Structure 1
Amino acid sequence: MALSVVDWNTRNNIECSHLTASNAAFPLHTHEEYAISANLSGVEKLFLNRKNLSVLAGDITVYNPGTLQSSEFGVQPVEFFSVHLPAAVFADLADRPLPILHEGVLRDPQLFDAICHFVRSPDDDQVQQQNLLWLTSRLLHHSSEKDVALAPASVGCALEHMRDNLTQKLTLDELAVTCGLSKYHFVRQFRQEMGVAPLQYHMQLRLLAARNLLRHRSSALDVAHQLGFYDQSHFINSFRKMLGITPHHYLRMLSR
């Protein structure tokens, strides 16, 4: 993967990144925060909600927590800023229950500028807060009043079991029994609802938990052991496949 990290830091404890990518791809993955990106140059090919979309320079991509998407980057380099806004922080700033944003590719010059200003904020808490509030206000222009569709009870049961067992690998038999379904019907229903296989989704949750531990400056080795990754190379390769960088590189960027 030809992915280059220009910068990766935090602003008001919110993770921001400045990346370039070419001849690269992010496989189907999810986020636990609101993920907002501004495409500075190039064309990103996006797969979201069973649709193929193109993200052009000047476009913005927005994903609600838990959304699954994948991306591809061609020969021409793509440069972009990304902000990972924790759900609790957004709800607090918006002074309302978790907003549901219109997802996908947006064209909003003011929101684009707000993302860029926040990522480029100087090391001044007041300026960062000011830019964050501006970003929040622009995001709320793209909020939806519709209710979030609830997953079927069997899928919800599986998700709860996955989140309660992030320190070990799960089996399809275990998940199916937990949900009271045959293995065939469980896998079929989970894929239909979530768009990804259950074991793959559980791995995503474990890697997101790993990222959170790294944010608190735990070592990559300790994180791997805490989450039951006894094969260090498997942990490193899985993490790099999801984020585009290794756990050690990620930790080093946050520590700068």
Structure 2
Amino acid sequence: MANSNPHFLRSSVLPFELRYSDNSNACYKKHTHSEFSIGVVDSGISEYVNQNIKQTIQPGSTVIVNPEEVHSCNPQKGTNWSYKMLYVEPSWLANLQSKISNKNNNNFQPIQMTHSDCPFLYQGFQSLAQTLIENESAIKVEQTAINFFAELFLIDAKIPSIDIISKKAVDCAYQYISDNFDKNISISDIANISGLSDFYLIHSFRKQYGITPHAYQIVMRINRAKELLKQGDNIASIATDLGFTDQSHFHRNFKKMVAATPKQYKKDL
């Protein structure tokens, strides 16, 4: 039997709400809402209606709905589907748009696309959704969200790339993370120190160093963890002292970089 019950996840970091469902046969009448929404079909075929235009959507496509637009998205008759849908407060998006355009505009500028088959956008959404589901650190959630929506705006505006500014400002951000990698710093904290907007910070940092600010913070934490493990420190204490959400978060990131668990690494020293 199909499971029609949706799951709801509300972010504690950003004004986001994620709705997702697996193997569902639930259908929704045409409706509107005040939030901007964007989502993907994970499995099955969907009939998507936006602004009286009907389209067939399948895995690999991203649907985009501006606030107050009449729309619906349902599985084809007699079939089940799995999907994810993210609802975002327009004011948060408007703020990001202002930073990208360097214009002081308090109103959200509607997206022209109603859907996209861009694989980069599809995978970016899946990454953001997974970050929210796994309840990653605040900086990871911020960074992933800014990255994804900035790319959406650039794709919609048909802007292929951005110019990177001030190497000195990015170096300042790098040093700040180096000095505070064990603290619960945010993208906004780093941006303020460097004098860059959140958007330009992430893109400039990645272009200059080949890694995002959050990824660099994790690298610094894991390197320090290896030193502490060599000294015989307790694994649980290391996770707490280095600012990981919990021991599982520490274990997962350590294994990604060292190809061994903290316990295995400590045992073989």
Q: Provide the TM-score with structure 2 as the length reference.
A: 0.49
Matched-pair contact (CA < 8 Å) for 2:15–2:92:
no
Matched-pair contact (CA < 8 Å) for 1:46–1:70:
yes
Matched-pair contact (CA < 8 Å) for 2:28–2:72:
yes
In the other structure, the counterpart of 1:31 is 33
Q: Which amino acid in structure 2 is aligned with residue 37 of structure 1?
A: G
Q: CA deviation at 1:2?
A: 5.7
In the other structure, the counterpart of 2:113 is 103
Classify the secondary structure of the residue corresponding to 1:39. Answer: strand
Identity within the alignment, %: 14
CA distance in 1, matches of 2:74, 2:40: 16
In the other structure, the counterpart of 1:8 is 9
Q: Which amino acid in structure 1 is aligned with residue 151 of structure 2?
A: R
CA distance in 2, matches of 1:7, 1:88: 21
2:95 to 75, 92, 96: 92
Does residue 62 in structure 1 map to residue 64 in structure 2? yes
1:49 to 43, 48, 51: 51
1:113 to 78, 100, 123: 123
Q: Give unpaired runs (5+ residues) of structure 1.
A: 146-256
Does residue 125 in structure 1 map to residue 146 in structure 2? no
Mean alpha-carbon deviation: is it higher for 49-58 or for 8-17? 8-17
Does residue 82 in structure 1 map to residue 85 in structure 2? yes
Matched-pair contact (CA < 8 Å) for 1:59–1:112:
yes
Q: Name the larger-Rg structure.
A: 2
In the other structure, the counterpart of 1:143 is 156
Change (3 A) 1:123 1:34: same
Matched-pair contact (CA < 8 Å) for 1:21–1:79:
yes
Q: Give unpaired runs (5+ residues) of structure 2.
A: 159-269
1:85-122 deviation per Cα after TM superposition (whole angstroms, max 9, x unaligned) = 11100011222532221232211112112211111113
Classify the secondary structure of the residue corresponding to 1:31. Answer: coil
Q: CA deviation at 1:77?
A: 2.1
Q: CA deviation at 1:82?
A: 1.3
Classify the secondary structure of the residue corresponding to 2:124. Answer: helix
Per residue, is there more strand in 1 or in 2? 1
Matched-pair contact (CA < 8 Å) for 2:25–2:81:
no
Change (3 A) 1:139 1:129: same
Give the count of matched residue pairs. Answer: 145
Matched-pair contact (CA < 8 Å) for 1:17–1:119:
no
Matched-pair contact (CA < 8 Å) for 2:24–2:82:
no
Q: Which amino acid in structure 2 is aligned with residue 85 of structure 1?
A: V
In the other structure, the counterpart of 1:222 is none
Q: Which amino acid in structure 2 is aligned with residue 62 of structure 1?
A: I
CA distance in 1, matches of 2:37, 2:56: 17
Change (3 A) 1:142 1:67: farther
CA distance in 2, matches of 1:45, 1:110: 22
1:172-204 deviation per Cα after TM superposition (whole angstroms, max 9, x unaligned) = xxxxxxxxxxxxxxxxxxxxxxxxxxxxxxxxx
CA distance in 2, matches of 1:139, 1:34: 13
CA distance in 2, matches of 1:52, 1:118: 27
Choose between structure 1 and 2 for higher RCO, CA contacts under 8 A separated by at least 6 residues. 1
1:208-235 deviation per Cα after TM superposition (whole angstroms, max 9, x unaligned) = xxxxxxxxxxxxxxxxxxxxxxxxxxxx
